[in-house]
Amino acid sequence: MILRAAAPRLRHASLSTVARRSTVCTPAAARHLSTSEEEPIERDSMEYDVVIVGGGPAGLAAAIRLKQLEETTGNEISVCLLEKASEVGAHVVSGNVFEPRALDELLPDWREDADAPLQTKVEADTFAYLHSETGAIPLPCPPSLHNEGNYVASLSQVVRWLGEKAEALGVEVYPGFSAAEVLYDDRGGVRGVATRDVGLNKDGSKGENYEPGMELLAKQTLLAEGARGSCSEEVMAIFDLRKNCDPQQFGLGVKEVRSRRPVLRCLQLVSISR
């Protein structure tokens, strides 16, 4: 179970001893763009050592690793992970050829875990050039596209399973909560994130059920939102993190998941066409 039980703590943090009320510095204020009309928002807050935004493979792997370090050093590290999907894995694109090298490093015993959703090993690759609607020329598979030793999996299930691992290690995983704002300290450093306000009217004004989002403050804030995350884009712009970097590249592709019988035979073959 991914911390459904923990969510009320976040929702009703005002009842919690760790929660306190404070006035947050919004991104606009941090950039000295606030206007005199902008009212400071009073929010509940919780403090952690690390707040992770995004429960995809990157965020969950980081959360697990932090807790493993805790076991090694003996120092407790409080880790909170926000995932905007209603459950961990729900926003992760599923059909996936999975290269297990990083997982081998993170959880070396994963193959002994009967619940690991990585059961189907790729046994063969084919590579073909499609030259017409019905014709294809088989080609040798380039070494970089070989998948032997990899697994065919549902990444969404892998992520859900990683979420359970993280939770078992003591990570506070909060599905259904989106980081809507990055919070900055007086010196302009990132001090956490705030979850989305609820009960806003269509025009953005406060409705009668308005509740401000929650502040999650941390010594370290780790943005693992995937491609083009809103908090990540803002932080990259403010701190000029793209300076002297190659531009981000995006590719458009089509992924086809075919259901054929016998299912296992089909799943063990990865076929790439150009």
- Taking alpha carbons only, the member of 42, 5, 12, 50 closest to residue 190 is 50
Query: Footprint of ligand FAD on residues 230-249 (CB under 6 A)?
Result: 230-231
Least distance to ligand FAD, CB of residue 223, Å: 8
Distance CA 92, CA 86 (A): 12
Least distance to ligand FAD, CB of residue 158, Å: 10
Tell me which residue has tokens 């961990």: 88
Rule CB under 6 A: is residue 82 a binding residue for ligand FAD?
Answer: yes
Distance CA 232, CA 224 (A): 8
Distance CA 130, CA 132 (A): 6
Least distance to ligand FAD, CB of residue 253, Å: 7
CA angle, corner 206, sides to 22 and 221, nearest 5?
A: 40
Residue nearest to ligand FAD (CB): 56
Distance CA 202, CA 200 (A): 7
Least distance to ligand FAD, CB of residue 194, Å: 11
Binding window for ligand FAD (CB under 6 A); candidates: 49-57, 106-114, 132-140, 261-269: 49-57
Least distance to ligand FAD, CB of residue 240, Å: 21
User: Within 13 Å and on the Cβ side, how many CA atoms surround 194?
Assistant: 24
Size of residue set near ligand FAD by CB under 6 A: 27
Among 154, 156, 178, 221, binds ligand FAD (CB under 6 A): 178
Residue 82 vs 116, nearer CB to ligand FAD: 82
Distance CA 196, CA 167 (A): 23
Interface contacts to ligand FAD, rule CB under 6 A:
53-59, 82-85, 91-93, 96-98, 155, 178-179, 224-226, 229-231, 255
